[in-house]
Amino acid sequence: MRRAEFELKRGKSYASPQFSADGNPCFIIAELSPDGKYGAAALVNQKVLAQVKNHQKKNLRLIPYPKEGKFKVESVHSDTLRDLTVRTGHDNEKASHFYENEIVIRFQRQPTRQELVQISREISAQAPRKLGYAYIFRSDQMDFKRLHAYFTQKWSPVYAEPHYMYLTNGFGLGTLENDGGNDESVAEKANIPNDLLFSRYQWNLPAIETNRGWNLSKGSEEVVIAVVDTGVDLRHTDLEGQLVPGYNVVNPDSDPSDDVGHGTHVAGIIGALVNNGEGVAGMSWYNKIMPVKALDASGSGTTYAVAEGIIWATDRGAKVINMSLGNYADSQFLHDAVKYAYDRDVLLVAASGNDNTERPGYPAAYPEVLAVGATNQDMSRAEYSNYGDYIDVTAPGTNIASTFPGNQYAALSGTSMASPHVAAMAGLIRSLNPDLTNREVMDLMISQAVDLGEKGKDKYYGNGRIDVFSFA
């Protein structure tokens, strides 16, 4: 640290060789402010890089760019999570993950208790779980094929479909810095926050006119944005006071803490504290974030969990829901939950996926959801971003700096990072114009997007890049 201070006094930046501290790889970095009047030195713990890498490995469906291997996981056993259908030579975008021994059923009419007991006995199952209009049955002896044949032949349901798994739509390209201070008076006049990482790393906010947009709206505590994801680090100092009570769908007896990092990163993009002199700045100053943990420690969840998370957030007043997750299976069960929220004036936003495929991903491709693609810093389409006629808008998605568990920060890439930009903008608009319906806000964001690519709407950029300064 003395060497860092010495170099700062000489007007130079400094980065030390890597060394070990308490068993963790670290280095010391020192940087001068742009005007050379101030300097900051920090001890950087690189443990977060290992966490990002580990998260990337756990994400079964998504392929980092460039591709690090090809594999296909179609189904897992719900008790053991043992993969049942691994094959090589397939891209992840051709895989739809589901529990092999479970099935989701929506009956033509509500079954009686006696009929449910009869069904459970005939398929060797315990009592089914019910959410909304649908039931989930788990058999001890029958696989999905046999379950499907049983229900379609004997009960003629509205639908009988697999219990799909949903995975995060983000992957790591991680970097890490630490927090510190900056000159506040000059920053406030120019609407440039004093958060340490803003000027150097947060290219994404100026790119969509966020700073100018703050002259129109900084958000409102009355408009809550739910993050249906892996949870959120409830003790991150850059999210202090920004969270409302949430829910852990995976383990209802626990709080919605993040054991992956993905949800914390998404939440920081939306609402990390602004002008607190440390870390990153979120897009919204005042919109509260509702953490809903629907994805587990592996970064994956189920149709049931995501649907329950959507319904729970809707029933507790969320006005915007961000879903940085997806699967290529069109689940009517999940669609029911999406329509439940949409019919109650909730605005839903979802990431399109990171497999560079035209195949529609869900829930993004549902008509009630704003589907988001990702752009690079030069506003070109990110090479990993999914595309297609269902894409509504694009937003920055590559090398996005945000909060990470353990009071840390990381830069991640993916449509998962693009989606919360759109959700945050929706929160700003609904804060300024609370009388607008969800459809009116969606149409406003679409109509005011900055056209990219071919003139007019196209399958790569949708209607274009969101513009936060356009909704006055």
Burial 218-239 (b: 16+ CB within 10 A, else e): bbbeebbbbbbbbbbbbebebb
Q: What is the mean pLDDT of residues 308-318?
A: 97
- Going by C-alpha positions, the residue among 334, 346, 285, 341 that lies closest to residue 306 is 334
- Going by C-alpha positions, the residue among 317, 315, 336, 301 that lies closest to residue 231 is 301
Which of the pair, 398 or 47, is modelled with greater confidence? 398
> What's residue 362's pLDDT?
93
DSSP 119-164: HHHHTTB-PPEEETTEEEEEBSS--HHHHHHHHHHHT--SEEEEEE
Instruction: Give the number of C-alpha atoms closer than 13 A to the C-alpha of residue 98, restricted to the C-beta side.
Output: 20
Residue 186 DSSP label: H
State how far the Cα of 324 lies from the Cα of 414, in Å rounded to an integer: 9
Query: Residue 461 — very low, low, confident or very high, per pLDDT cuts 50/70/90?
Result: very high
Query: Is the CB of residue 450 less than 8 Å from the CB of residue 465?
Result: yes
> What's residue 397's pLDDT?
95
Query: Residue 69 — very low, low, confident or very high, per pLDDT cuts 50/70/90?
Result: very low
Percent of all residues in the chain with a pLDDT value above 90, rounded to a whole number: 62
Residues taking part in catalysis: 229, 262, 416
β-strand partners of 347 = 320
Phi, psi torsion values for 331, nearest 5 degrees: -95, 115
Q: Which amino acid is at 83?
A: D
Structure tokens at 388: 């297609």
> Does pTM top 0.85 for this prediction?
no
Query: Is the CB of residue 139 less than 8 Å from the CB of residue 102?
Result: yes
Query: Is the CB of residue 283 less than 8 Å from the CB of residue 269?
Result: yes
Taking each continuous run of H as one helix and of E as one strand, the counts in the chain are 13, 23
Q: Is the pLDDT of residue 358 over 80?
A: yes
> What's residue 166's pLDDT?
63
State how far the Cα of 233 lies from the Cα of 357, in Å rounded to an integer: 32
- Going by C-alpha positions, the residue among 361, 294, 350 that lies closest to residue 62 is 361
State how far the Cα of 307 lies from the Cα of 311, in Å rounded to an integer: 6
Q: Is the pLDDT of residue 241 over 70?
A: yes
Structure tokens at 88: 């090589």
> What's residue 52's pLDDT?
53
Which domains are present in the chain?
Answer: 2-45 (no CATH), 69-165 (3.30.70), 171-470 (3.40.50.200)
Q: Which amino acid is at 15?
A: A
Lowest mean pLDDT among 62-76, 103-117, 401-415: 62-76
State how far the Cα of 290 lies from the Cα of 106, in Å rounded to an integer: 29
Lowest mean pLDDT among 242-246, 300-304, 344-348: 300-304
Lowest mean pLDDT among 41-55, 82-96, 455-469: 82-96
Query: Residue 222 — very low, low, confident or very high, per pLDDT cuts 50/70/90?
Result: very high
Query: Residue 38 — very low, low, confident or very high, per pLDDT cuts 50/70/90?
Result: confident
pLDDT digits (tens, 9 = 90+) for 150-205: 999 999 999 999 887 665 665 444 434 333 334 443 333 347 899 989 988 999 99
Q: Is the pLDDT of residue 96 over 90?
A: no
Lowest mean pLDDT among 91-105, 146-160, 254-268, 444-458: 91-105
- Going by C-alpha positions, the residue among 156, 161, 198 that lies closest to residue 180 is 198
Three-state DSSP at 337 gives helix
Percent of all residues in the chain with a pLDDT value above 70, rounded to a whole number: 83
Q: Is the pLDDT of residue 427 over 50?
A: yes
